[in-house]
Structure 1
Amino acid sequence: MTERVGVYPGTFDPVTLGHMDIIRRGATLVDRLVIGVTTNASKSPMFTLEERLAMIARETAGIAGVSVVAFDSLLMDFAEAQGASTILRGVRGVTDFEYEYQLTGMNRALNDRVETVFLMADVALQPIASRLVKEIAFYGGPIHRFVTPSVAREVADRVERIGRKGARP
């Protein structure tokens, strides 16, 4: 029997409880789930690629069949290199779906041997976005409901080094 490999791509800056929900559920759909960590040129990351790889590897250590790999190529080329037949994408709402729908069409044009599977985020986790977690943290707000305790500490440490917005001199 052929091993079913899936790829879950993203920047994961930082990895949130929403990401972890998709990873846990996605890992049950395939024999091996590769978390593909990339850098998006249109985003300015809080954490380096190496820091994000380490963060996700630590957070997913207890999930069977999950590996974490960096990539800097077209997603479909990365999926092919991993032997993946499935791309896993998390969707929080209509806005995500519209973007993902367009992306899926382009990806299918590049490689129609790889299928995209959408997982709806858990209702309680749908509002969570890495971008918003960082913004809340930069303004001194609590992020403990959106990320694991260890990720919350890493974000707080980074914000402390960078400097919090709205802080008084």
Structure 2
Amino acid sequence: MKIAVYPGSFDPITNGHLDIIKRSAKIFDKLVVAVLNNPNKKPIFNLDERVEMIKEATKDLNNVKIDYFSGLLIDYMNNINANIIVKGLRAISDFEYEFQMALMNRKLNENIETIFMMTNSEYSYLSSSLIKEVYKFGGSIEGLVPKIVVEKLQEKL
């Protein structure tokens, strides 16, 4: 069974993330969307809220599981017997950082492969940070995030 992990902070999940999730779910037997719990970051949504939003947004995808982790991604992957990391790339600027991470993960565990997937050009400019900023200043984020995210941002902000 090919188990892949799509890691990220997902604060909040965007339609760009969903694009990668849906396309990855077609390729792998099981896709685990793993939400990073990083105590050094100050997310707008807590871990449970992020997991809840992703579960709602992916509820129609039978082979997608939502989970969370802290610490090294490689340790998490070993715990769930996964050996493929899926990373979405929006632009060339993403590649340099993600390539460095892929090489480090490979150094930590030579059995781990990283797959880079280009996002749909429709979402290539999207980031969670940009979504939060646009929303805070009153801009429309309709069509850029799942409906649940709009609802949760309304509650939060």
Same fold, judged at TM 0.5 (above): yes
For residues 104-150 of structure 1, what are the alpha-carbon distances to aligned partners after superposition, in whole Å with 9 as ceiling and x for unaligned? 11111001101000000000110010000001111111111310222
Please state whether the residue corresponding to 1:28 is helix, strand or coil.
helix
The one-letter code matched in structure 1 to 2:19 is: D
For residues 77-108 of structure 1, what are the alpha-carbon distances to aligned partners after superposition, in whole Å with 9 as ceiling and x for unaligned? 11111111200000000110010001111111
- In the alignment, which residue of structure 1 is the partner of 2:111? 113
- Does residue 123 in structure 1 map to residue 90 in structure 2? no
- Superposed displacement of residue 153, structure 1: 1.5
In structure 2, distance between residues paired with 1:28 and 1:157: 33
In structure 1, distance between residues paired with 2:127 and 2:114: 21
Runs (5+) with no aligned partner, structure 1: 160-169
- In the alignment, which residue of structure 2 is the partner of 1:152? 150
In structure 2, distance between residues paired with 1:36 and 1:91: 17
Q: Is the 8 A contact 2:86 2:117 kept in 1?
A: yes
Q: Is the 8 A contact 2:38 2:70 kept in 1?
A: no
In structure 1, distance between residues paired with 2:53 and 2:151: 11
Within 5 A, what are the aligned runs for 1:122-141?
A: 122-141=120-139
In structure 1, distance between residues paired with 2:90 and 2:116: 10
Q: Is the 8 A contact 1:90 1:119 kept in 2?
A: yes
Please state whether the residue corresponding to 2:17 is helix, strand or coil.
helix
Runs (5+) with no aligned partner, structure 2: none
- Superposed displacement of residue 41, structure 1: 4.4
- Superposed displacement of residue 40, structure 1: 3.3
- In the alignment, which residue of structure 1 is the partner of 2:63? 65
Write out the 4+ residue segments of structure 1 that deviate beyond 4 Å after TM superposition.
Answer: none
Q: Is the 8 A contact 1:38 1:71 kept in 2?
A: yes
The one-letter code matched in structure 2 to 1:98 is: E
- Superposed displacement of residue 22, structure 1: 0.3
- Percent sequence identity is 39
TM-score, length basis structure 2: 0.96
In structure 2, distance between residues paired with 1:27 and 1:117: 13
The one-letter code matched in structure 1 to 2:52 is: A
In structure 2, distance between residues paired with 1:151 and 1:9: 18
In structure 2, distance between residues paired with 1:72 and 1:115: 20
In structure 2, distance between residues paired with 1:41 and 1:102: 22
TM-score, length basis structure 1: 0.90
- Superposed displacement of residue 9, structure 1: 0.3
The count of corresponding residues between Structure 1 and Structure 2 is: 157
